[in-house]
Amino acid sequence: MLSACGSLLVGPAAGQDASFGCKVLLCSAATSPGWPSIPYCVPVMQTLFRILAKGGSWPNCPEARASGLGYEPYQACSAGQTPVLAGDDVGTALTETPHGNLCADLSKPRQDCSTDAGCRTRYPTTPRAMRSEPYFVDFVTANGAQRFYFSLQGY
Q: Which of 103, 30, 32, 25 is nearest to 63 (CA)?
A: 25
**pLDDT at residue 148, rounded to an integer:** 95
114 in the same domain as 136: no
pLDDT score at 41: 97
Same-domain pairing of 114 and 146: no
Predicted local confidence at residue 13, as pLDDT: 40
pLDDT computed for residue 99 by the predictor: 86
Q: Do 36 and 88 lie in a common domain?
A: no
Cβ contacts of 14-20, under 8 Å, gap ≥ 24: 15/40, 16/40, 18/61, 19/59, 19/61, 20/44, 20/47, 20/59
Residues 118 and 45 in one domain: no
Residues 21-58 pLDDT 10s: 999 999 999 988 999 999 999 999 999 999 999 999 99
**143 in the same domain as 97:** no
Strand, helix or coil at 60? coil
**Residue scoring higher pLDDT (95 or 138):** 138
Residue 5 confidence (pLDDT):
39
Tell me, yes or no, whether 3 lies in a domain: no
Strand partners, 114: 118
Is there a domain that residue 35 lies in? yes
Please check whether residues 59 and 29 belong to one and the same domain: yes
- For residues 65 and 114, state if they share a domain: no
Decide: pTM greater than 0.85.
Answer: no
pLDDT interval class at 144 (50, 70, 90):
confident
- 16 with 59, same domain: the answer is yes
Same-domain status, 96 and 53: no
Q: Where in the sequence is the domain holding 114, given as residue range(s)?
A: 82-127
Q: Is residue 23 situated within a structural domain?
A: yes
Does 25 fall in a domain? yes
Residues 68 and 139 reside in one and the same domain: yes
What confidence score (pLDDT) does residue 102 get?
A: 92
Cβ atoms within 10 Å, residue 66? 20
More confident residue, 12 or 33: 33
**61-118 pLDDT tens trace:** 988 888 989 999 999 999 999 999 876 555 556 788 888 999 999 899 888 887 676 7
Answer yes or no: do 112 and 44 share one domain. no
Residue 101 within any structural domain of the chain: yes
In the chain, the number of structural domains is 2
